[in-house]
Amino acid sequence: MTMKTSNVLLQRLAAEEMETLSAHLERIELKRGDVLFESYLPVPYVYFLEAGLSSEIATTSGKRLEVGCVGREGFSGASVALGVDVTPHGAFMQIDGQALRIPSSELQAAMDACFPLRRTLLFYIHVFMLQIAATAIADAKHTVEQRLARWILMAQDRAGDELPLTHEFFSLMLGVRRPSVTDALHVLEGMHCIKAERSLVIVRDRASLRQIAGDAYGVPEAEYRRLILGDGAPSSAD
Q: What CATH code is carried by the domain that includes residue 183? A: 1.10.10.10
The answer to whether residue 63 scores a pLDDT higher than 80 is no
What is the value of pTM for the model shown?
Answer: 0.92
User: Would you place residue 2 in the very low, low, confident or very high pLDDT band (cuts 50, 70, 90)?
Assistant: low
Are residue 18 and residue 90 in the same domain, yes or no?
Answer: yes
Mean pLDDT of 176-180: 87
Whether 25 has a pLDDT exceeding 50, the answer reads yes
pLDDT at 189 over 90: yes
Q: Which residue range(s) make up the domain with 74?
A: 8-137
Residue 114, domain CATH:
2.60.120.10
Residue 84 lies in a domain: yes
Examine the fold and report which residue of 102, 137, 172 is the final residue of a domain before the chain moves on: 137
Predicted local distance difference test score (pLDDT) of residue 60? 79
pLDDT tens profile 190-215: 999 999 988 899 999 999 999 999 99
Q: What 3-state DSSP class applies to 124?
A: helix
Same domain assignment for residues 110 and 21: yes
Please state, in angstroms and rounded to a whole number, the distance separating the CA atoms of residues 87 and 98: 23
Of 137, 159, 188, the one marking the end of a domain is 137
- What angle is formed at CA 174 by the lines to CA 173 and CA 180, rounded to 5 degrees? 125
Q: Judge if 180 and 195 occupy the same domain.
A: yes
Q: Which of 137, 157, 190 is the last residue of a domain?
A: 137
Name the DSSP class of 215: G
Let me know whether 14 and 82 are in one domain.
yes
Amino acid identity for residue 97 in this structure = G
Q: What is the pLDDT of residue 165?
A: 87
Could you read off the pLDDT of 72-103 as tens digits, one per residue?
A: 999 999 999 999 999 999 999 999 999 999 99
160: left (phi over 0), alpha (psi -120 to 50) or beta: left
b/e sequence 84-96, b meaning 16+ C-beta within 10 Å: ebebebbbbbbbb
According to the model, what pLDDT value does residue 166 have?
84
